[in-house]
C-alpha cells in the first residue's frame, strides 16, 4: 500500500493541531501564539533549515567572520527595529522568542544583525510583536500611491509640524484631535502616564481627592472586565487580548466620567489607537522618574513585570541578605539587579518618545512626595483654569 507523501501528512497534522480545545467545547478560540503555515515541516526556509526545525537549527553559533565589520547594514537596522519594538511593548527577549516560536539564540542573532533570518521567521516575530511585516522591515508607507504621496509631503518635517498634522487629520476623520475641554481649554479628565514606579497611583489618588474628582486606576478596571488579574490575562489569553481589554476600559472611563483622574498602565502608549484616544479626550501628564527610583518603587510594590525574574532575584536576595560585593548585594543578586536595571532602561528608552506627547510632564524624583504633589496640583489646576 503506497504511503501518503510527506507534505500531505504534514499538512494534515498541522490542520489537526490548529483546532483548539475551546472550539470543540463550543467556545471561540482564545488568542494564542502565531501558527506556522501548513506544510511548513519538510519545506526548506531561506536559510536552508527545515520549517519545522527553525528553533533547533537556530541554536547553531554564528559562522566565523560574522563580526561587526561583516554585518550588512540592512540586517543591523532590522535588528535595531526589533529591539525598539520589543522595548516599546515591554517584552523580554525570552517572552518574544516564546511568542514567536523561535529559539532565544536565533532571536538574539536577529537583534544583533547576525545571520540572515528567513521570511517565515520574520513573519513569526512580527506577529508576536503585533506589528505588520512591513513595519518590521522598515517601510510601512509603500502600500498605495496615496501613502507614497503623503510620505513625500511629511518627510523631513519636524515633530511640531507632524503633531499639527496628526491633530488636523484626527479632527478631519472624527477620531479626535487635540484634547479640548470647557471654553477651549484642557478637558477636566486628567490622565497620568509613565512607566511603573513613577507615582501614578499615589499622586493620582491625592490629586483626585484635591480636585474632588473620581480616581480611576485603569489596571483595576481591566481586571474587572476580564474577571482575573492582569498577569492571568496575559498568561491565559496573551498580549493581544490584554490590549483589547485596555482599550475597552479606557473607552468606558471616557464615556462615564467627564471629570476624573486616571492612572494608566505604563504600556498603554505602545498601542497607537488607544494612545490616540487618550490624547484626544484627556489632559495628559507624564510623570517621570530616575531609573533607580523606578526600580526601588517597583520592587517595593512587588509588581515586577516584565523584568520580573531579574528584579525578583535582586529583591529577594537583598531581603534575605547574602555575601555582599562592592554594590552591597550578593554576587548573583548584583548581577540580577544590573540585568533588571538594563531591562528597565531599555523599556523607558523605547517609550520615552511616546510619553513625551503628553500635554505636561513632571519629574517625581526631583523632590519629596509632598512637594511633588503640590507641584502636580498647581500644574493641573492652572491647566483646568481652577483656583490654585
Closest CA to 362 of 353, 371, 354, 350: 371
Is a pLDDT exceeding 70 seen at residue 37? no
Report the percent of the chain where pLDDT is more than 90: 36
Asked which of 137, 153, 183 is the last residue of a domain, the reply is 137
Is a pLDDT exceeding 60 seen at residue 29? no
Indicate if 249 and 299 belong to the same structural domain. Answer: yes
Q: What is the mean pLDDT of the chain?
A: 77
Q: What is the mean pLDDT of the segment spanning 251-278?
A: 94
Whether 359 is covered by a domain: the verdict is yes
pLDDT, position 119? 80
Indicate if 93 and 173 belong to the same structural domain. Answer: no
Indicate if 101 and 218 belong to the same structural domain. Answer: no
Is a pLDDT exceeding 80 seen at residue 160? yes
Q: What is the mean pLDDT of the segment spanning 125-130?
A: 87
Q: How many domains does the chain divide into?
A: 2
Whether 97 is covered by a domain: the verdict is yes
Whether 107 is covered by a domain: the verdict is yes
pLDDT, position 214? 97
In a 10 Å sphere around its CB, with 0-12 CB exposed, 13-18 middle and 19+ buried, how is residue 365 labelled?
middle
Is a pLDDT exceeding 80 seen at residue 60? no
pLDDT, position 196? 87
Is a pLDDT exceeding 50 seen at residue 167? yes
Assign 382 a pLDDT band (cuts: 50, 70, 90): very high
Selected residue with higher pLDDT from 255 and 7: 255
Do residues 344 and 296 make contact, with C-beta atoms less than 8 angstroms apart? Answer: no
Indicate if 361 and 295 belong to the same structural domain. Answer: yes
DSSP-assigned letters across all residues of 97-127: HHHHTS-HHHHHHHHTT-S---HHHHHHHHH
Q: How do residues 183-197 score in pLDDT, each as one tens digit?
A: 557 889 999 999 988
Whether 1 is covered by a domain: the verdict is no
Which of 6-10, 59-63, 153-157 bottoms out in mean pLDDT, i.e. has the lowest? 59-63
Q: What is the mean pLDDT of the segment spanning 257-286?
A: 94
Q: What is the mean pLDDT of the segment spanning 115-132?
A: 83
Selected residue with higher pLDDT from 143 and 344: 344
Indicate if 88 and 173 belong to the same structural domain. Answer: no
Whether 354 is covered by a domain: the verdict is yes
Indicate if 170 and 317 belong to the same structural domain. Answer: yes
Q: Which of 123-137, 258-272, 310-324 has the highest mean pLDDT?
A: 258-272
Is a pLDDT exceeding 70 seen at residue 23? no
Assign 335 a pLDDT band (cuts: 50, 70, 90): low
In a 10 Å sphere around its CB, with 0-12 CB exposed, 13-18 middle and 19+ buried, how is residue 345 labelled?
middle
Assign 158 a pLDDT band (cuts: 50, 70, 90): very high
* 207, containing H or E segment: helix 200-211
Indicate if 208 and 292 belong to the same structural domain. Answer: yes
pLDDT, position 19? 40
Indicate if 73 and 177 belong to the same structural domain. Answer: no
Beta strands in the chain (DSSP E): 189-193, 215-217, 260-263, 283-288, 360-363
Indicate if 111 and 180 belong to the same structural domain. Answer: no
Is a pLDDT exceeding 90 seen at residue 64? no
Whether 261 is covered by a domain: the verdict is yes
Rounded distance between C-alpha atoms, residue 5 and residue 32, angstroms: 30
Rounded distance between C-alpha atoms, residue 48 and residue 63, angstroms: 14
Selected residue with higher pLDDT from 211 and 27: 211
Is a pLDDT exceeding 70 seen at residue 368? yes
Do residues 245 and 227 make contact, with C-beta atoms less than 8 angstroms apart? Answer: no
Indicate if 366 and 329 belong to the same structural domain. Answer: yes
CATH code of residue 54 = 1.10.260.40
Indicate if 276 and 235 belong to the same structural domain. Answer: yes
pLDDT, position 74? 84
Assign 303 a pLDDT band (cuts: 50, 70, 90): low
Whether 6 is covered by a domain: the verdict is no
Task: Provide the domain limits for residue 200.
Answer: 163-383
Rounded distance between C-alpha atoms, residue 89 and residue 129, angstroms: 8
Q: What is the mean pLDDT of the segment spanning 202-208?
A: 96
Asked which of 96, 119, 137 is the last residue of a domain, the reply is 137
CATH code of residue 244 = 3.40.50.300
Q: What is the mean pLDDT of the segment spanning 278-289?
A: 94
Is a pLDDT exceeding 50 seen at residue 122? yes
Indicate if 220 and 350 belong to the same structural domain. Answer: yes
Whether 15 is covered by a domain: the verdict is no
pLDDT, position 179? 63
pLDDT, position 71? 82
pTM of the full predicted structure? 0.64
In a 10 Å sphere around its CB, with 0-12 CB exposed, 13-18 middle and 19+ buried, how is residue 242 labelled?
buried
Amino acid at each position: 500500500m503506497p504511503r501518503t507523501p510527506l507534505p500531505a501528512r504534514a499538512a494534515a497534522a498541522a490542520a489537526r493541531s490548529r483546532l483548539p480545545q475551546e472550539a470543540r467545547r463550543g467556545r471561540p478560540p482564545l488568542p494564542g501564539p502565531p501558527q506556522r503555515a501548513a506544510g511548513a515541516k519538510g519545506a526548506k526556509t531561506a536559510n536552508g533549515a527545515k520549517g519545522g526545525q527553525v528553533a533547533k537549527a537556530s541554536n547553531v553559533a554564528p559562522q566565523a567572520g560574522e563580526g561587526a565589520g561583516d554585518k550588512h547594514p540592512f540586517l543591523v537596522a532590522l535588528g535595531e527595529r526589533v529591539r525598539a519594538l520589543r522595548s516599546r511593548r515591554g517584552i523580554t527577549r525570552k517572552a518574544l522568542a516564546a511568542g514567536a516560536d523561535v529559539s532565544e539564540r536565533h532571536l538574539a542573532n536577529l537583534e544583533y544583525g547576525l545571520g540572515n533570518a528567513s521570511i517565515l521567521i520574520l513573519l513569526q516575530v512580527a506577529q508576536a510583536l503585533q506589528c505588520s511585516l512591513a513595519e518590521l522591515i522598515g517601510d510601512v508607507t509603500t502600500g498605495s500611491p496615496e501613502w507614497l504621496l503623503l510620505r513625500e509631503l511629511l518627510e523631513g518635517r519636524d515633530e511640531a509640524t507632524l503633531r499639527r498634522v496628526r491633530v488636523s487629520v484626527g479632527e478631519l476623520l472624527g477620531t479626535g484631535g487635540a484634547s479640548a475641554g470647557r471654553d477651549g481649554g484642557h478637558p477636566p479628565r486628567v490622565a497620568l502616564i509613565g512607566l511603573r514606579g513613577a507615582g501614578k497611583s499615589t499622586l493620582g489618588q491625592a490629586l483626585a481627592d484635591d480636585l474632588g474628582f473620581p480616581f480611576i486606576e485603569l489596571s483595576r478596571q481591566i481586571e474587572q472586565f476580564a474577571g482575573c488579574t492582569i498577569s492571568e490575562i496575559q498568561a491565559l489569553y496573551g498580549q493581544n487580548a490584554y490590549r483589547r481589554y485596555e482599550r475597552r476600559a479606557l473607552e468606558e472611563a471616557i464615556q462615564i466620567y467627564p471629570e476624573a483622574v486616571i492612572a494608566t498602565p505604563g504600556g498603554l502608549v505602545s498601542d497607537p489607537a488607544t494612545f490616540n484616544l487618550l490624547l484626544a479626550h484627556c489632559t495628559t501628564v507624564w510623570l517621570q522618574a530616575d531609573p533607580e527610583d523606578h526600580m526601588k518603587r517597583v520592587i517595593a510594590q512587588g509588581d515586577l513585570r516584565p523584568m520580573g525574574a531579574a528584579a525578583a532575584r535582586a529583591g529577594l536576595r537583598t531581603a534575605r541578605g547574602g555575601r555582599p560585593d562592592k554594590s552591597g548585594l550578593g554576587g548573583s543578586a548584583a548581577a540580577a539587579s544590573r540585568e533588571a536595571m538594563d531591562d528597565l532602561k531599555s523599556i523607558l528608552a523605547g517609550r520615552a518618545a511616546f510619553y513625551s506627547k503628553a500635554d505636561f510632564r513632571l519629574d517625581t524624583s526631583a523632590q519629596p512626595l509632598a512637594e511633588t504633589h503640590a507641584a502636580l496640583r498647581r500644574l493641573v489646576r492652572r491647566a483646568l483654569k481652577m483656583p490654585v
